[in-house]
Each structure stands twice: as C-alpha cells, then as structure tokens.
Structure 1
Amino acid sequence: MTTITAEHGAPERLGASPGADGTHFAVFSAHASRIELCLFDPAGIRERERLALPGRAGDVHFGFVPGLAEGALYGLRAHGPFDLARGHRFDPSKLLVDPYALRLDRPFVYHAALGSPPGRRLDTAPLMPRAVVCRPAGGAPVLPRRAPGFTYELLVRAYTQAHPGVPAALRGTLGALAEPAVLDHLQRLGVETVELMPLTAAIDERHLVHLGLGNAWGYNPVCQMAPDPRLVPGGWPEVRRVSDALHARGIRVLLDMVLNHSGESDHGGPTLCYRGLDNATYYAADAAEPDRLANDTGTGNTFAFWREPVMRLGIDALRAWVEYGGVDGFRYDLGTVLGRTPQGFRPDAPFLRRLAADPVLRDRLHVMEPWDVGPGGYQVGAFPAPFLEWQDRFRDDVRRFWRGEGGLLSALATRLAGSPDLFAGPGRDAASGVNFVTAHDGFTLHDLVAYEAKHNEANGENNRDGHGENHSWNNGTEGATPDPAILAARQRDMRALLATLFVARGNPMIVAGDELGRSQGGNNNAYAQDNETVWLDWAGADGALAAFTARLARLRAAVPALRAPAFLTGALVDGAPDVVWLGAGGEAMAPGEWRDDARRWLGARLAARGSAALVYLHAGREPLALRLPAPAPGRTHRLVLQTDRPEAGERPLRPGEPFTLAPRSVAVILEAAA
C-alpha cells in the first residue's frame, strides 16, 4: 500500500517534482473538494492506486509519496460539483492529465467517451495518456536576444517526412532537424531564425475524427509543458539536442505556442485536463450564457489570462521551453487573447506586463499573432515593446500590388518603409514587424500565383473553410498542365514577391518549402492534411528558386540600407534622406504621382549609414524606361538583382545609361565606391 503525506508542505512548483526520497505533487483547483492522485503500473495499463492529496494551501492541493521515483506513471481525478450555471464540471470518472506534466507516455487520441456526461460514469482511464514523473535537465543555453531577421516557419512532421537525406526512423520528428542534410539546407538559405509550429501535446478535433482526418498543424494543445510524443519521441533531451544543433549553425529557435485555448473544445468537447480540474477558473465564460464558454478563439474555449492561475500556467510553460529546451523565444497563436481582460483587450494587460518583466523570459523574443476572432480582436500595431507582431497588412498590400491593382503606391511604400503607421510607438521600430507574403494558414507561394480561388474540398467542409479573399491570381488554367510560358510567368511572379519581402524594412518570413516551389493543390487551409498535401516534396524541389531565395538573404544581410531597423521617413543619413521615392526621370515623386491609379511601379533610393540602394518594383505588363538618379559623389551604380533574369550576374551601370525595367519584376541597384 503506497503512502502519501502532507508533512513536507506544499512544494514551490506545481506538478510532479521528484527528489531523492520520493515525489512531491501539487495541483491547482480553487473549486475541487478533493483531488486524487492515480498511480499506474509500469506498463501504464492498470490503475493500481488512488491517493487523495492530503494537504491544501489556499487553492493548491498537495502531497508527498515516499519512494516514488522518476518514470512513475500517474493521472488525476477531481471531485466537486457539476453545476453548469456556476461553471463547474467536476466528474471523477474522467482521468485527467496534470497540466504541469513534462512528459506523456503516449499521445492523445480522441474518443467520444472522453466527452460523455457525468451521469454515465464512463471511466476514461483506458483512453488517456499517463503523465510521467521526470526531472529534465535545466540550464539549456540560448543565443543572445536580437531581432529574428530572416525567419523560416516550419511544420516539423511535414518538413522531413519525405526527406531522402534523413534516416527513416527520424523522418517526421523534431530530431530530424539536427541532421546535417537539414541543417545544411537552412544554412545555405541564410535562415537566421527557425519558427517551429506547435510541439506541445495536442489532440485532434472531434469533427476531424468523424471525417477520418487529423490535425496536421498541432494547434489544438492540451499539455503546454509536455512535448507531443509523436513529434518529439525523445522528450526534452531531443528538444535540447535540436536547439543546440541549430544554435551551432547560428540559427535561433522560436516555438509557436498556443496558449489561447485548449483541445477540450466547447461544452460538448472532451474532458482531459482543465475542464475537469477547475473549468470555472481556467476558462472564460460566455457573457450571454454563463453555462457556456467564451469562444474568442473560434475553437470552442478561451483561457482567462487575467486570472492568476492561468497567468502562472502560461509563464511556467514558457519557462520550461527556455530552461529545458533552449528555445530563444516564442510566436503566440491568437496573441490578442493573452491581452484580454473582462473589459476587452488591453496593451497593458496583466499577463503581457508579467511576461515582459519575467527574469527568465524578458530577454527572449516574443512575436504576437495580433488578432483573434472575438470582439475587438484585431490589434495589429497595438502591442507595446518588447513584443513583435505578425502583420497581415504587408501580406495583403503586397499581394494586391503584384496582382495588378491600382491605387496602392502609398500603401506599398508604407510597407517597404517598415510600416510606421502600425509600429511607430515608444521603443518600437521597423524590426517590430514580421513581414510575410505567405504563412502556414493560406496559399503557398506557388499556389498564390496559380489559383484564383481556394480548393479545400479534401478538408470535408464543402470548401467553406479557409480564407475566401486571398488576393491571388492565376497564371494559366487551374487544373490544366501548364505550358512553359505559364510556368515561367509563375516563376517570375514568385521571385518578384520574394524580392519585395527581402527589400522591405522589418523581419522577412517565409514558410518552409516555399523556396522549393511547393504546392498544396490550391488548399489554403491544409491543417487537416497530414499527407503529401503538406509534406515537402524534396525529390521535386525547385533548386533554382531555393538558390534565388538564398541570394536574396545574402543581399539583405550585406546591405544595411535593406535591413536597418529604422523606419524610412526621409530623415537625413550621411547628409541625404534615408528614402527618396522616385519618378521615372530619377527625380523625387511629385505629390500628384501618388494619386496615379494607373501607375503600377514604385522606385526608391534607400539609405542607411554607409549604404545606399535603388529598388524598383514593376507590376505592370509592359517594359518601363527609366532614368536613374545620380549616385552620390565618388559613388557609382551596380546592378545586383533582376528578378526577371535571376541567372544574370552583377554589372556596373554607366552614368546616364538608360535603364529598362522588365514587366513584373524587381531590380536592386547598389551605390558602390567608384
């Protein structure tokens, strides 16, 4: 018979804390009358004992089990009222996973019984993972904080599932990213930061299970501190090994964290963790129907980040990934939720203040997805320093310009300038924005120029899911085998989009595989396609496009005028404005030219200390004859990039030489010493 005692007092850490002589357990629940610790046999099959946690300090239930060592398997059961009007959903027939679990013995698998009502008393232990008592090594090294620069958003399983240079046993796992073939590709591209899509233990949504599909992206988490066994079978040592391998190549690691909701879904969803432990504390209630959950996330529930236990959970989860895994920062899915209070979003919300001040986290990178689907959920530009933000305004304005729409010169110039309309606040600069043309949710770069409309039929929702307005275009006929001219037009447009991204002030981000010309067949919401739709086709990769992307990264790294963090405002640099927007004759644009809806091109001279470059973007269909502005004294012009001729080398331009800009192209001309 196992003994449990409260004599040692409440431990400082929640969860399971193994020591030399046993294991401490501590679980938060403000409303449970009793929390039981359920211990399993070493195979995780038989529940051999239930031990009520004997101690309580405030809202923390605790106990110490002498002799219980690392590797022990456990779960929790919570007793209390089932009172929907007060938000309570206690049901001891549901085995619960510890929200502070650091390792699970198996992945979550959805089953309808996990959401059965308490009156049926269906014991869910056979359906649930067990938490594993463990103590990961802390003190994982991280790189010094700096702007993320060239960021590479990466879906772990899809990235290497078909990679011929990765051992078969590692394909589709996090560990594959430490393989030389993968690291070499990232380094050749010039990637500065890898942004890993979610790694935390997650569960498939019930509607996907009914359709015979699964969640390929992982945005439905349950345990924020436990790596998913399917993606990270080696647990925390594997996370740290991969972080160390990327750091050795000078590449930072961001982790996409889904703190805004859990995989327990709405009132009809499964009871896995938070719902069973203290639904009324962890989740925000619907203001109109208090027995239902608020759904500012569109996933069925929303964590209440203004409450202390939820804030503590979020901070502790982030600390775990830094201290045990060595990650350099985070991207926050639906980050507006983290700033929500009962009165709505606040830039000075308690959790945001706490995150920015935390001694472990304050020097890490924090990138917000600054929107959710709730009231007032669109908050691009509203987050204070030190938070960085994704910005869809760059995506949409750049796409519309290259699609050929008029009236976008001012908008495009603002995006190239680092979006001061959004980020010009205290302590912020152009590096506060993460620019992208494509992201995981939406068309791939290839599909953006090949499909006018989405094709999400395989998702089982009659093509209703995913964005409807993509600002995309079709060079050719959808579904038909394109001829060489159409393929060339698509390549041309992809290069122009990539070049626009890399010449703009701010941090450029691409999605892994876009540099290889990957397609999802027009599916712009492939979250449910854990198959060849999202797996990278390394055998069919477009090596020329990858080489062009690497060339852009090198150009940006070498030219301060393209990567400086300052907004382009016209301020003097080396005695000249940091930006001059150019007319066709090389002079500054006249005010009336900004209002020319027929004009489909924009030129600029960009400057930073000791560096200047001319950038021209031409979305029109006819060649454009230009006269370049005179270079600074003692300087000359050198053409270094033409997206219509990616194979062309660099060449000097003679003073006064006419310059013709090809249709649908970007050109970059550097000012170099004569």
Structure 2
Amino acid sequence: MRVLEAPQKEESRSHLNPTLLPGRPYPLGAAVHKNGTNFAIFSQDATRVELCLFNSDGEQTACIALRERTAYVWHGLVLDIKPGQLYGYRIHGPWEPDQGHRFNPNKLLVDPYAKAISGDVDWKAPIFPYDLASGDDGKIDEQDSAAGVPKSVVIDNKFDWGDDCPPETPLADSVIYEVHVKGFSVRNPMVPEKLRGTYAGLAHESSINYFKKLGITAVELLPVHHFIDEGHLVDKGLSDYWGYNTLGYFAPMSRYSSSGDRGGQVREFKEMVKALHAAGIEVILDVVYNHTCEGNHMGPMLSWKGVCNATYYRTVEGDPRHYMDYTGTGNTLNVRNPQVLKMLMDSLRYWVTEMHVDGFRFDLAATLARELHDVSRLSSFFDTIHQDPTLADVKLIAEPWDVGDGGYQVGQFPVLWAEWNGIYRDTIRRFWKGDAGQLSDFANRITGSSDLYQFDGRKPYASINFITAHDGFTLCDLVSYNEKHNEANHDDNKDGANDNESWNMGTEGPTDDPKINTLRERQIRNFLATLMLSQGVPMLAGGDEVARSQRGNNNCYCQDNELTWFDWALDDSRKRLRDFTSQLIQFRLSHPNLHRRKFFQDRQIRRKDGNTVIQDIAWYNPDGNQVGDEVWNAGWNRSIGLLLNGQTLQVTNEEGKPVIDDSFLILVNASHEGVEFTLPPPLVGSNWNQVIDTENIDEPFAKVVVDAKVIVGGRSLKLLSDETPQS
C-alpha cells in the first residue's frame, strides 16, 4: 500500500499563505535569516515534504510543500518566520513496512535538526503510524497525530559569550562529577524556588560554590538532549528521569528550563555553561547516539521513523520490517549510513561550537562501532571523529559496551578515547568486600589498568575509574544492601542488575547498630580513598560524597522524586563525609604522583648521583619484604603496601624542569582484623608521615609521624608520605 498524499486536502489545514522562496539545502534544520527562516530536511525516499506551522495554542496555521530538492534535502525559505515559531513536518512516501518504508503524512514529525522542542508527547493521541487497535503494524493509521506530538521551535542562536574561556583541564588532571541537572538542585533551599531543578539552578551561586568546595573539575550531566517519557512509564504514573530516550539531538531538554520552551531553554543552557566555565568547571554531556525514543516496529512515529525509516535505523538483514536491537530499547541508529553519521557529527559540533561544552560520554558506545555485526575499532564512526578538527580538543569518553553479542569492549577503544572502566568498578568492590583472589587485579586497577590501555598507545587517563554511577547502587547503598529493592519501579523487582558486588555488613538497609554504621562509614571512606588514590581519572557519582541513598533501588531510571533527588538537610555524619571527600580530591589534585601521565615502568632507575637504585613503584607484604609471585596468586591475601616514587614522574614543568612530588606508601587491609606493617625506609627524610587514615572517622587527615611499624586497622586504608621538597 502506498500513501503519497495526506488524507485531508492541503487547503483544509492552511489558514495563512506564507511566501516560499527556494532557500538552501544547508544547513539542515531551521536557520534564521534577516527576511525569514530557511528550512531543510533530508529524506531520501520521500515523494513530498510539507512544512507545517503552528501558533502558540498548537493550532496548525499553514502547511507548505517544499518544492526544492537537492541531494535528497528538501528545502525552502519562508519569509517573515521569526524565532519562536513552532513547526513540524508531514512527509509523504511509500507505506511499505516489509521494505523498511513507513511514510505516513498523517503523523506530524519533529525536525531531526530542531534546536529546541516544545511540549510533551500525549500517549493517548494517535501517535502510532499503524492501526493500534488491531496491533497490525502493516496497516496504516490515518488519524492526525499533531495534537499529541511536540513541536520544533525556530530559535535565534545569538548569545553574548563575552570572555567565556573553557577551563581546558587536561584529562589526566580531571575529577569528574556525574550529576543530574534536576536532581541536584530541586530541593536546595538556597536556590530560588523558580530555578530549582533547572539549568539556572545548576548554575546558581550556591551550586557552583558547592562544586568548588568539593574540588571537582568537571560536571558530567546525565542526558540533556530533549527526551520523552516512555508510554509504559506514563501508564504507571512514572516518568523517564535519567533521559536515555532521545527525541532531539540538537535541543536541550525543555523541562530543565526556567525560561520557557520556545527557545528559552537554549539561552539558559548557554548561561549555565558560561557560569560553570567562569568557575573553572568543565561541562561534559552524556549523549545517547545509539538509539532513539521511537522504539521497535510497534513504537510511535515522532521523527526519524517517518522522515526516512530506511535511512535512520538498522533493520534486520533480509527482514527490514524489524529493527536490529543492540541497545535493549527496540532500535539501533544506522551509523553506517553517511547521512546518519553526518547527523551525529553535526550534533557533536553544534554542542561544541554553539553551546561550548567540553566533552561527551557516549552511552553504549560499542553500538556506534558496529560496522556489520562485530564491534570494529576501524569503524567509520571513529574515523570520522578522529579527523574532525572541532572535536580534536574535547574529551571523548566511551561506555564501552552494549547488550549485543561481543558488546563488552572495555580496553578495546582506539586512541584519543577514554573509557568507563567497568573492570575497575567490579574489582574494587570485590576487594573491599573481602573476596578471595582479588589482589593481583586490584594492583592492576589502582595503578591505571596498564593491562587494558598501555599497549595501544594510550595513557593511564584512558581509564575513567568509578565505583558507582547513576546506574546501580549509590555508594551508601553499596555498603547497606545485599539485594536490590526496585519495587517502586512497578516491575515486580525484576529490573536492574542482580549481581551488585555489594555487602550490607550484616543488616539489610538502615540500622541503629552503631558497630554496623561505623563499619559502613569506614567502607565508604575506603572506596572514596581508593578512587582518589588510583591512577587514571576518578568519576564521583553525584551524592556519594554525602551518602545519598536510593533505599536499595539500583535502577532509578524512572524515579523523578525524592528517591533520587539530593537531600540538602545534612546531619553531622553526612557533613563529615562531604568534607572528607573534598579533602581527598584536593589532596589528589595537589600531587601529580597520584595522577601520572605515564604508566609505571616497574623497573629500577639509577639516580643522578649514580649510587642509589630506586624504583618508580614497589609492592610490599606486611612483613616489609617485596611481594613475590606466590603472594600475587594466593587467594587468602587481603593486605598489601604500594610505594609510589614521586621522583620518577618522567615529566617536566613549563620551564623544562623535572617534576618532583612526594613519595607515597599506600597500605590497604581488606581483612577483618588489624594488620601490622613493617615499613620500607622512606625515600626522603628519616620518617614516614601518616596523612590519611580511613579508620579515623573523626580526623582522617590528622598528620602523624610513624616509626618503622604501623598497624592498619581491619577494613581500612592508610596513606603515608615522605614529603619530598618541590622543585
């Protein structure tokens, strides 16, 4: 069956008669000119494209057929159309689902290049392109969907960036803070009520002061590309909180705007970036280029599916009616297609050049590298990014897995990319939980995961180290629950990971037992200290520094409520933890020995005097002897010392002089009982100084001069320093 025209006549949908000029095929999207707005949209298989204009009440005021077509781009310049104008598209073409074509001009479509989007999806409206009543996705639905579809917005990109200067913090020197725009400030009493939960709230003075006091160098924002709430969540009275359900790759999410959704969200986002930059804080976006909000063949038609389904989505070979699903969401974007790859690149460049963001974390990035079925390091996606000068200086971080076969690709991404190191997360959790046989892997992770990144030209900062993230337990819940408790998601507790490598210390959930609470506080400090003392780049999940809990829910993607929002009413324990975290971060950033730019060589280095042989790294047993092979392979060992030689950084400062830092001795004990360590002699001076002790909850940074032996308490960590004079 073919539908080449809308069932209604064009005249019945038109109340105005705008003047249409040929316009230009580039740039795609809506571009404001002095006498009107140029509209351009790509659709290779369309037979007719109509631009529909709407007033502020959502009424269609005009429907204009774009007559010009250049290289599959339909375009035209409409006179007197100004910023704030609402619009959408109706696109005609073959309705042939079995061939991958799903054109339906009855369905209003969001411009794939819309710079702003207004309104929400109404799931009760006829937004499905097929006959929903029969459930037959091969039977076209002829009802008009316009009332239930968000509208694209014409915007003016002009903005006074003033002297905005991105901090450009090297990745090696970064501390990343993963945070949700709304969840961070929505309950903060220091933020004006109108601004809470918005871009302006994140940029408010109190928010920025918090970030600066904490010491982080970058915020990594959960998705802010415009997204929609999934229909099954709406039916349950829930909503999409995390935002991995994208409708617009160029539009900032309108619900985070205090300035309205007719372009105000664009200006407010830029103001947020400018304010964070002024405070020395970079902005990294979590982006979802692997799938869209349109689901599988039974999903709604909101944009790409109706614009050119066969172009934008990967379909099953030999069965284009169905989609390939490497993401677990029903569809996968067809990044192999040049036009889709262009859209992604245009989006990335737009957020860098127009919105001034500093980097991207790519959700399920292994999907983007699938050329045929296997993940390929030589994919066109990587090639295109690597040759793009606009993206040369931004941070590129991969979530290096997807849900397809062979999708777990930690350590396999090419140079220029950093990766969320899921192996680091799992190892550190197991080690501090007390699992047997973790020592060797723990050693690899805390020293930068050279086994994953050293042999392909990458450096320690290719490893984004994290112990918790938005997906999974918070750090507080990691030490408080053995099992997930996701009942609030209304999915019978079936969603979320079942294996969390967590330990509740003997009681599930909150308890009044002082011994358990003390142990939990110490374990949280062990995790945080390990994270900040590890080579690589630490990522702190927002709220872990104040023991934010989700009451055992490890999949809060649909919980836009107090379960996920920051609680700013801090008791003494949470304030103490916040201050501990802040001091840890500041300590890390002040010592280049803790964030090296090169991997340890694990070799002897002769000093300038020619007499003393020193090592850049050394491992010690509690008895003071260096660790042998029999210890690395022993499942019973849970205590070890690590010497980091601050005289072997092998880098120079801006004046060309070698950088010298303190040497550190990290003593870890994941066993229940205290362990006495015999210390190696300090490299400088006559004594080691204890500078961090996670067992000391009240004064963990109290400096203590230690003798030749020191006891490290059960399940605790000590950091000793020789305080080398700085050059």
TM range (shorter): over 0.9
Q: Which amino acid aligns with 2:598?
A: A
Name the SS for the 2:32 alignment partner. strand
1:426 is displaced (CA, Å) by: 3.5
1:30 is displaced (CA, Å) by: 0.7
Q: Give the corresponding residue for 1:599.
A: 637
Q: Does 1:553 align with 2:585?
A: yes
Q: Does 1:210 align with 2:224?
A: no
1:119 is displaced (CA, Å) by: 3.2
Q: Which amino acid aligns with 1:122?
A: Q
CA distance in 2, matches of 1:643, 1:377: 37
Which stretches in structure 2 are left out of the alignment for 5+ residues?
A: 1-15, 131-138, 608-612, 650-659
Name the SS for the 1:223 alignment partner. strand
Q: Which amino acid aligns with 2:85?
A: A
CA distance in 2, matches of 1:476, 1:444: 18
CA distance in 2, matches of 1:397, 1:479: 23
Q: Is the 8 A contact 1:332 1:369 kept in 2?
A: yes
CA distance in 2, matches of 1:281, 1:213: 32
Distance 1:311-1:572 versus aligned 2 partners, 3 A rule: farther
Q: Give the corresponding residue for 2:201.
A: 176
Q: Give the corresponding residue for 2:616.
A: 578
Q: Give the corresponding residue for 2:414.
A: 384
Q: Does 1:504 align with 2:534?
A: yes
1:633 is displaced (CA, Å) by: 4.7
CA distance in 2, matches of 1:104, 1:137: 18
Match of 2:576 among 544, 564, 567: 544
Name the SS for the 1:96 alignment partner. coil
1:6 is displaced (CA, Å) by: 5.1
Q: Is the 8 A contact 1:617 1:667 kept in 2?
A: yes
Q: Give the corresponding residue for 2:255.
A: 230
CA distance in 2, matches of 1:101, 1:263: 15
Alignment map for 1:184-583 (pairs within 5 Å) = 184-232=209-257, 233=260, 234-287=264-317, 289-479=319-509, 481-540=511-570, 542-572=574-604, 576-583=614-621
Name the SS for the 2:576 alignment partner. helix
Q: Is the 8 A contact 2:21 2:78 kept in 1?
A: no
Match of 1:590 among 618, 623, 628: 628
1:654 is displaced (CA, Å) by: 4.8
CA distance in 1, matches of 2:442, 2:370: 31
Deviations 1:368-406 (A, max 9, x none): 000000122111111111111001100100000111111
Q: Is the 8 A contact 2:434 2:638 kept in 1?
A: yes
Q: Give the corresponding residue for 2:143.
A: 122
Q: Is the 8 A contact 1:110 1:204 kept in 2?
A: no
Q: Which amino acid aligns with 1:651?
A: K
1:137 is displaced (CA, Å) by: 2.7
Deviations 1:470-509 (A, max 9, x none): 0000124225633222111110110001111111100011
Q: Does 1:40 align with 2:54?
A: yes
Q: Give the corresponding residue for 1:24.
A: 38
Q: Does 1:107 align with 2:120?
A: yes
Q: Is the 8 A contact 1:162 1:171 kept in 2?
A: yes
Q: Does 1:90 align with 2:111?
A: no
Q: What TM-score does the superposition give when structure 2 sets the normalisation length?
A: 0.90
CA distance in 1, matches of 2:604, 2:351: 43
Name the SS for the 1:566 alignment partner. coil
Match of 2:677 among 622, 626, 635: 626
Which stretches in structure 1 are left out of the alignment for 5+ residues?
A: none
CA distance in 1, matches of 2:128, 2:209: 46
Name the SS for the 1:614 alignment partner. strand
CA distance in 2, matches of 1:338, 1:133: 30
Q: Is the 8 A contact 2:120 2:148 kept in 1?
A: no
CA distance in 2, matches of 1:4, 1:141: 42
Identity of aligned residues (%): 39
Deviations 1:437-469 (A, max 9, x none): 001000000000000010111111111111110
Q: Is the 8 A contact 1:44 1:130 kept in 2?
A: no
Distance 1:614-1:2 versus aligned 2 partners, 3 A rule: same
Alignment map for 1:128-147 (pairs within 5 Å) = 128-137=149-158, 141-144=165-168, 146-147=170-171
Q: Is the 8 A contact 1:380 1:391 kept in 2?
A: yes
Q: Which amino acid aligns with 1:229?
A: S
Deviations 1:620-639 (A, max 9, x none): 01110111100125453111
CA distance in 2, matches of 1:110, 1:569: 59
Q: Is the 8 A contact 2:448 2:599 kept in 1?
A: yes
Match of 2:688 among 634, 637, 643: 637
Q: Is the 8 A contact 2:622 2:639 kept in 1?
A: no
Deviations 1:590-636 (A, max 9, x none): 22111221111121101243231000111101110111100125453
Name the SS for the 1:400 alignment partner. helix
Q: Is the 8 A contact 1:2 1:65 kept in 2?
A: no
1:111 is displaced (CA, Å) by: 3.7
Deviations 1:46-75 (A, max 9, x none): 111111111011211111112222222110
1:245 is displaced (CA, Å) by: 1.2
**Greater shift in the superposed pair: 191-200 or 354-363:** 354-363
CA distance in 1, matches of 2:219, 2:509: 33
Name the SS for the 2:440 alignment partner. helix
Distance 1:493-1:442 versus aligned 2 partners, 3 A rule: same
Q: Which amino acid aligns with 2:84?
A: G
Name the SS for the 1:81 alignment partner. strand
RMSD (Å), alpha carbons: 1.7
Q: Is the 8 A contact 1:548 1:646 kept in 2?
A: no
CA distance in 2, matches of 1:455, 1:494: 20
Deviations 1:261-284 (A, max 9, x none): 110011111100000000111000
Task: Give the number of aligned pairs.
Answer: 671
1:26 is displaced (CA, Å) by: 0.7
Name the SS for the 1:115 alignment partner. coil
1:586 is displaced (CA, Å) by: 2.2
Q: Which amino acid aligns with 2:592?
A: P
Q: Which amino acid aligns with 1:592?
A: E
Deviations 1:150-186 (A, max 9, x none): 1100011111111111111011111101111111111
Q: Does 1:662 align with 2:713?
A: yes
1:578 is displaced (CA, Å) by: 1.6
Q: What TM-score does the superposition give when structure 1 sets the normalisation length?
A: 0.96
Deviations 1:546-590 (A, max 9, x none): 001011101111222211122233145655222101111222112
Q: Is the 8 A contact 2:692 2:703 kept in 1?
A: no
Q: Which amino acid aligns with 2:31?
A: S
**Greater shift in the superposed pair: 267-276 or 10-19:** 10-19
Name the SS for the 1:461 alignment partner. coil
Name the SS for the 1:672 alignment partner. coil
1:322 is displaced (CA, Å) by: 1.5
CA distance in 2, matches of 1:109, 1:562: 51
**Greater shift in the superposed pair: 618-627 or 129-138:** 129-138
**Greater shift in the superposed pair: 569-578 or 44-53:** 569-578
Q: Is the 8 A contact 2:95 2:140 kept in 1?
A: no
**Greater shift in the superposed pair: 253-262 or 109-118:** 109-118
CA distance in 1, matches of 2:603, 2:166: 36
Q: Is the 8 A contact 2:418 2:463 kept in 1?
A: yes
Q: Which amino acid aligns with 2:424?
A: F
